[in-house]
Amino acid sequence: MTTENEGLPARPFFNCTAEGLTILDAANASSLLRAESVVPWMVFTNGPGNMIDSTPRKAASRGGSLVAVECDGGTVHIDFDAGTARKVTADGEFVYMGSLEDRNDGMGYIAVS
């Protein structure tokens, strides 16, 4: 699993569950399955103040290193190159106060609009 700002793998696979968002490198999937061990490329834990702070439903769109994840509490836009995230909800737009490395540390969001 990675914690560095490396951009996304060339072939990311997004798995959304109530526990959070897991990203796998699909280019390595066959070798991982043969080894009977699937190692996530990156994990976003659903929790208060985390980058993913409500149940993720789907990775709605992807453009280069930008991924939009539709969650129960709004849409989280993650920039893997910049290591940042912003969330758009019915209440406005918010920016995560930590970096991608802090995604599961409960740093919280601050309103920008």
* Distance between CA atoms of residues 45 and 53, nearest Å: 8
pLDDT tens sequence across 34-93: 666 778 999 999 999 999 999 999 999 999 899 999 999 999 999 999 999 999 999 999
* Distance between CA atoms of residues 99 and 25, nearest Å: 21
Sorting pLDDT into bands at 50, 70 and 90, what band is 4?
very low
**Residue 99: phi, psi to the nearest 5?**
-100, 180
Q: Are 24 and 16 in contact (CB under 8 A)?
A: no
The three state secondary structure string of 11-60 is CEEEEEECCEEEEEEHHHHHHHHHCCCCCCCEEEECCCCCCCCCCEEEEE
Q: H or E segment at 29?
A: helix 29-34
Q: Report pLDDT for 15.
A: 96
Sign of CA dihedral 25, 105, 107, 82: negative
Going from N- to C-terminal start, the domains of the chain cover 12-111
Model pTM score: 0.88
Give Dmax over CA atoms of the chain in angstroms.
48
Q: Report pLDDT for 92.
A: 97
Residue with the larger pLDDT of the pair 83 and 5? 83
